[in-house]
Amino acid sequence: MCGEVRIQGSKNAALPILAASVLIPGMSRIANCPRISDVTCMCRILESIGCRVTWEKHDLFVDASSVRRSCLPQEYVTRMRSSVMLMGALLGRCEEVTLDYPGGCVIGDRPIDIHLAALKKLGVFYEQRENVLTVRRKKLQGAGIEFPFPSVGATENAILAAVLAEGETLLTGCAREPEISALCSFLKNAGACIEGEGTGSIRIRGVEKLCETEYVIESDRIVAGTYLISVLAAGGEAFLKEAPAEQMEAVCRIAGQMGARLETWEDGIFIKRNKELISPGKVKTLVYPGFPTDLQSPLLVAMSQAEGESCLEESIFNGRFKVTEELNRMNMDIKVRGREAFLSGKRRLMGTNVLAQELRGGAALVIAGLCAEGITIVGNRHFIDRGYEDIVRDFRKLRAQAGN
Ligand code: EPZ
């Protein structure tokens, strides 16, 4: 591989910010928004409750002046996990919200108990009938909330419900992912009173109302990490323009350990790997700023090409090794035992027809195809399009042999 690719805006920052836009009785301009199917799905949900949504290139305009419904459409809600953010956001505008249990990638259990426990502390009551959840509140009341696990979504939902609550909310044990800080920056631009984002404790003082605002979405650290790992696995060099290096320390550290040369420039990351790839030994996925679970499947492919045995432990989700079945059909010889995957290394991958079953596993299959002999056809491309604007376009820019 040899080329340059500009990194798209962050999916996991854009989705909660889109949910947050319903808190604003007016226009929000969200710039550098990735044109991916999860964003399209969220836009459909916003339109279904009365928002007006328009695109201008990569700028998304959401007018939430007249939110008039709060019963969310099953068709879209069950397609993706981040629809659950609308619970916290809509409760800032409506006394009752009804939605189906959210969908999302099949990467393990996706309960929302931590979300509901946090909302309950803020004065929200909920009832569940089969797969439908109704949440209601008289008045949102600030509270102290200690998260049992730093859940990204639950932290975001609590912030969304607290910004217009009466009084002060103190969140402790919060997630520290950059997407939390992005959401808080958007809300503060609109007049919210928040401090401590990016640390484990966030303090929110409720305000009466939020005002029209605009925000530029940061680059996607997981998309950048995907392409960085593809160069690691397949060899060559690339410039990842606008890659958020300051959010990618863990993945850059592993890439350096495996033999890549990386340079962080002002406007991106340069990576070159033309020497032997060396096993990083054991890697464990962790909450931010540790090695991200969303890059676990791509890293498996790089480990399969490295000299020496490797082990990858998935500590965040309890079912994120599904993709190994398809990778083993390409001769990767991964052995999964519980939360650990073991690889022998220096595998000669053989191209074949494989099926993506979720977003990041799908991206890993494309990377495996770039390392394999012969042609690999990755089916179910729609899973990949949930989070990558155009993975074929991007790999073509990196002069990798990928096609539609
Ligand atoms: C967000 O999912 C991301 N999605 C995921 O990215 C990412 O993998 C994950 O955070 C971890 O970083 C979006 O931001 C849209 P969690 P989320 O709540 O919020 C358990 C991708 O590929 N948990 O931090 O769902 C849960 O089961 C996607 O872009 C509960 O038990 O993640 C999991 O084991 C995939 N109860 C762990 O916490 C709850 O109420 C982490 O979940 C909530 C979560």
Residues noted as catalytic: 105
Q: How far apart are CA 182 and CA 46, in angstroms?
A: 20
Q: How far apart are CA 402 and CA 278, in angstroms?
A: 25
- What are the residue ranges in the chain where pLDDT is below 50? none
- Report the amino acid identity of residue 388: Y
Angle between the N-to-C axes of helices 359-371 and 296-305, in degrees from 0 to 180, rounded to the nearest 10: 20
Domain boundaries, the chain: 8-207, 221-397
Cα 373 to ligand 1 centroid, rounded to whole Å: 35
Q: How far apart are CA 83 and CA 16, in angstroms?
A: 9
Classify domain 8-207 at the CATH topology level: UDP-n-acetylglucosamine1-carboxyvinyl-transferase; Chain (3.65.10)
Whether cis (ω within 30° of 0) applies to the bond prior to 289 is yes
Q: Mind giving me the DSSP string for 266-288?
A: TTEEEEEE-S--B---EEE--ST
Ligand 1 neighbourhood includes 183 CB (under 6 angstroms)? no
Give residue-wise pLDDT tens across range 230-257: 999 999 999 999 999 999 999 999 999 9
Ligand 1 neighbourhood includes 364 CB (under 6 angstroms)? no
Asked if the domains at 8-207 and 221-397 fall in one CATH topology, the answer is yes
Q: How far apart are CA 319 and CA 325, in angstroms?
A: 13
227 CB-near residues (< 8 Å, 6+ apart)? 5, 7, 238, 240, 394, 395, 398
Give, using CA atoms, the residue closest to atom 18 of ligand 1.
151
Cα 151 to ligand 1 centroid, rounded to whole Å: 6
CA angle 85, 223, 362 (to 5 degrees): 85
Tell me, what's the pLDDT at 103?
73
Tell me, what's the pLDDT at 2?
86
Q: Does an H or E element contain 144, and which?
A: strand 144-146
- Report the amino acid identity of residue 325: E
Classify domain 221-397 at the CATH topology level: UDP-n-acetylglucosamine1-carboxyvinyl-transferase; Chain (3.65.10)
Tell me, what's the pLDDT at 239?
97
Please name every residue paired with 195 in a beta bridge, in sequence order, or none if there are none. 203
Cα 386 to ligand 1 centroid, rounded to whole Å: 16
Tell me the backbone φ, ψ of residue 141, rounded to 5 degrees: -120, 125
| CA dist list (Å): 114 to 111, 118, 212, 230 | 8, 6, 30, 35
Give residue-wise pLDDT tens across range 104-151: 667 887 889 999 999 999 999 999 998 899 999 999 999 999 999 999
Give, using CA atoms, the residue closest to atom 13 of ligand 1.
12
Does this model's pTM top 0.95? yes
Q: 124: which 2 tokens?
A: 């929200």
Q: Which atom of ligand 1 is nearest to the CA of 150?
A: 24
